[in-house]
Structures are given as structure tokens and as C-alpha cells.
Amino acid sequence: MHAGEHFAAKLCLLFTHSQFFIDDTAWTQTPPTRTQPRSLAQMDDATYDDTAQGSAGNAAAHFAVPAGPGDPEERTIPSDAVADDAERAAAAQEHVSIDVHLARLATVHAASSTINETERVEAVRYVPAGKAAGNYLPLPLGKEGHPYREGWAWGWFQTRRLVRTQCKRHEFVDPTTPLFRRLAIEASRLDICYRSATQREVVCIALCIPELRSALYPTVPEPDILEICRTNATRLPAAIRRQYYVPTANGNVWSEFDVVDVSIYCGLHAARPQPKEGKQTQLRRWNEVLDHFFMEWLPLQTDVSMQPKFQPFPRGGEPYPNELPEDWKERTDMMYTVWGHLLACGFTTRAMRPPGEVWFYMARARRAERDRALLASNCRQQNKDAKQTEVRQWSTQWLVWPPMQYGRAAIRVKVSNAQRELYWHEYEEMFKDMQGRWAMHNEILTGEGLEPDVFYSEDKVCRPWIPLYTP
């Protein structure tokens, strides 16, 4: 890769959303009854040892992708997304294509600059820039607030035509039309972290339609992230940082998810094996291999020249092709094979080693799975007859979901009406219950030489994420 290409890939950072239009309607209805009360027995310090080591095998569910995308007939483009993109467009000083931006970089650096669509994580380099600029990422936008390449429909398309209530009947573009198909395929060529809010919605709807799903750009279809975020975000790995966004009292509530973490999650999903036989065993071993690779092996590889040669996959990550043997730890070449595979999927060594984004993601994953295992053990000690669903509910409710750092870019989704009611009637009590767990979590981070997580916002606009429903 030329120096200009490498530089461009690092500078063409993410695009995502910021403020949405707010509905300040207060809720006065009677709150629903929770199926699993939060007033569970308090943690017993004698049985809860948060310094113990969990088994890597317990992380088997970490990279599992929830199945069952939403019904496409019930999926619509939220007007919030269109308004969000319009706000981004209005704030932009100019509206140009990605190609123009890269041409300027090429002029400045006297080299040919193009987007290497396989270099996914290297391009995901986001540094918080303060509250005012935190939600603005330096990827150029079109007049409607969407990043686009020359010749793409996103460069001229009027986004309101995707919302039935914002256009005339003959203007509406529904998912059955050729234009919607074109928009979905084009948007799918961008990593999820690059897309505008509307582009993400279009791709997620396309994932629900078999003939569109198979036409999208990535070799491995990405998970329907927005549907998972809206319906049950506890199914997403705890390694994905998150928070609630609550701009007004008794008004709407949004969940926000760190867009870089979501991109890493999708990349790891594409890279995992897809065996026809013994799937659960292979996926469990793959999770163990990844944990060992990121947390034990790769940080010790200091000789850059040892990086294996690789050929990037042309359309994003592809499944790991080899069967994982039971004695994989004894195979000296195993880690190099995994290293080369992840490089071909678009991850870079710098991002996978500390202090890279992917390494920190995996560190959070290991910490969360250890915590989940200890919570499950604690639940069984208090109730030996507890069913598996009860153990899972206990672990999910008491698990520490790491918060987003100040100014990070995020994917924002509005919680359901039922969840909003639960938030306004029960969140403060849950907040008090979790303070001890957050303090214990930060003690562990400090003991590992890491900065403690910040769970408290002075203006209370951003609040720590606690599940508002049972999984």
C-alpha cells in the first residue's frame, strides 16, 4: 500500500449520528410490572470473588449473533435518522464526495490515495475531540448528509423519499423498488461505522429481505445491529460500550452504542468459522483461540518483521477456513495462521496490539465474561434450584456494562415505549443498586493499571446503561 493510501485510510474516519429531534411528551401511564424484580438479594462479599479468573470457554456466547431479523414489512426508516443526517449536512462547510476528499489528500501527500475497503479497522481511528465536535467525524458528506462515492445514488437522492409521511405517494421509495436496492448495495460498501444514520437503516432493512441480503457487498452478511439494539441489546457483547441518552426529564430515552466497538464486533463476526458440522464446538474453540491470541500471544510479538504476509479479502472479512483442533495450544503455527487471517479480514496489527482499539475491545470482553461467570456462580450458591433462565437473568441484570468515554461517536436508537416507562419509573433505583458493582469494577481496572470508567454525568444527560427488561 502506498504511503498516501495508508494515510488516507487513517484520516477517512467514521461518520455517524449526533442529535435527534426530541419528543418531550411526558409519560403518565401506570408502569408495567417487571417479570424479574430488581430487588434481588444483595451481593454476598464472601461468595463473590471478583478477582477470580473465569474460563475462556465461558465466552462462547460472546460472538454469537442473535438470529431472527425483524419483519421487513414492519421496518421503516425513522424520521429521526433523516433529521439527524440533515443536521449533519447543515453543519458541514461543504458537500463533496469521498473521492474529492481523497484526491485532495493525494495532492497534499504527492501519492495516489484511494479507499481500501478491506482495511476496516485501520480506518476506524477516532479520537474524542470535546463535546462540540465529538459527534462530528471527518468523512465528507453530500447535501443530504450521507458519505458517498462518485456515481452513487446517495450523492443526489432526497432522503425524505424513504419516509412515507414526508413525501408524495408517487415519490416514496419502498424496499421492493430497484432504487432502494441500489441504495442498500451502495451503503453496504461502507463499513457500518462510516454510514450515515439513514444508510444504516437502509442496510438493516435490506438484511431482512433474502434477495437483497444476498446482494449486499460484504461476503458475510453483517448482523442486523439496529434491530438488536432496539429489541434486546443484552444480546450484544458487553465489550461494546454503551449508555442512555436522556436530554429531557420524563421524555424520550435513547440507547447509544460506541460505533467503533460495533464495527469491531461485525468484523469479528465475519472472521469466525462457519463449519457445517460441530459448529458449537468449533465456535467455542475459536473464542478461546481469539482470547489467547489477543490477550496472551500477540502482545509479546515485538518483532514487526514477523507479521505474516497476507492477501486482503476483496469484500470484507471471510470465515476462518480451517478446522480448529482440540490441541490447538500445542500447535506452534496456529497463532500465526490466525494472525494472517485477521489481517486479511481488514484488522491491523497496530489495532490488535495494546493500546489498539481491538485489543481494548477484547480486554473488555474477557473481563465481562469472567464477571458473568462469577455472577452465575453466585446465583447458584444463593439458589441451588435456580433454572438456567433465572441464572442468565441474574447475571445480565447485575453485569457491569462498560460506559462510553466522553465525546465518543455512537449509534443511537430510541428505546421502546415499554422500556421508556421502565426507565422513568425504575432507573433511579437500579442506579443506586449498581453503585457498589461499579465501584468494584473500577477497583479492578485500577489494579490492572487502567483508567477507571466514568459512570456519572453531571448533567445526567448521559446515564450508565442498565438493562430495562429481562432477556
For 223-243, the pLDDT digits (tens) are 999 999 988 899 999 999 999
Query: Who has greater pLDDT, 54 or 333?
Result: 333
Residue 443 has pLDDT above 90, yes or no: yes
The parent domain of residue 159 ranges over 3-19+72-231
C-alpha cell at 95: 458537500
Residue with cell 450484544: 236
Could you tell me where the DSSP H helices lie in 353-416?
Answer: 357-382, 388-398
In a domain, 470, yes or no: no
pLDDT at res. 7: 29
Where residue 67 falls among pLDDT bands split at 50, 70, 90? very low
Q: Say how far apart CA 70 and CA 208 lie, in whole Å.
A: 7
In a domain, 165, yes or no: yes
In a domain, 119, yes or no: yes
Q: Say how far apart CA 193 and CA 240 lie, in whole Å.
A: 13
| H or E element in which residue 463 lies | strand 462-464
Residue 463 has pLDDT above 90, yes or no: yes
Q: Say how far apart CA 399 and CA 405 lie, in whole Å.
A: 18
Partners of 245 in the beta sheet?
A: 254, 462
Average pLDDT over every residue of 425-437: 93
Residue 465 has pLDDT above 90, yes or no: yes
Give the distance, in angstroms, between the CA of residue 390 and the centroid of all CA atoms in the same chain. Answer: 27
Q: Say how far apart CA 334 and CA 237 lie, in whole Å.
A: 25
Domain count, the chain: 1
In a domain, 403, yes or no: no
Residue 68 has pLDDT above 50, yes or no: no
Could you tell me where the DSSP H helices lie in 116-216?
Answer: 120-123, 178-188, 197-207, 210-213
In a domain, 35, yes or no: no
In a domain, 250, yes or no: no
pLDDT at res. 74: 66
C-alpha cell at 219: 461476503
pLDDT at res. 231: 86
Average pLDDT over every residue of 261-279: 92
Residue 78 has pLDDT above 70, yes or no: yes
In a domain, 104, yes or no: yes
User: pLDDT, tens digit, for every residue of 289-322?
Assistant: 999 999 999 999 988 788 999 988 988 899 999 9
pLDDT at res. 102: 67
Q: Say if CB 221 and CB 254 are below 8 A apart.
A: no
Residue 200 has pLDDT above 50, yes or no: yes
Q: Say how far apart CA 153 and CA 151 lie, in whole Å.
A: 7
End-to-end distance of the chain based on CA atoms, in angstroms?
A: 45
Pick the closest to residue 291 from 63, 51, 447 (CA basis).
Answer: 63
Q: Say how far apart CA 377 and CA 315 lie, in whole Å.
A: 42
Average pLDDT over every residue of 89-112: 72
Share of the chain above pLDDT 70, in %: 76
Which DSSP state fits 459? Answer: T
In a domain, 153, yes or no: yes
pLDDT at res. 288: 95
Where residue 207 falls among pLDDT bands split at 50, 70, 90? very high
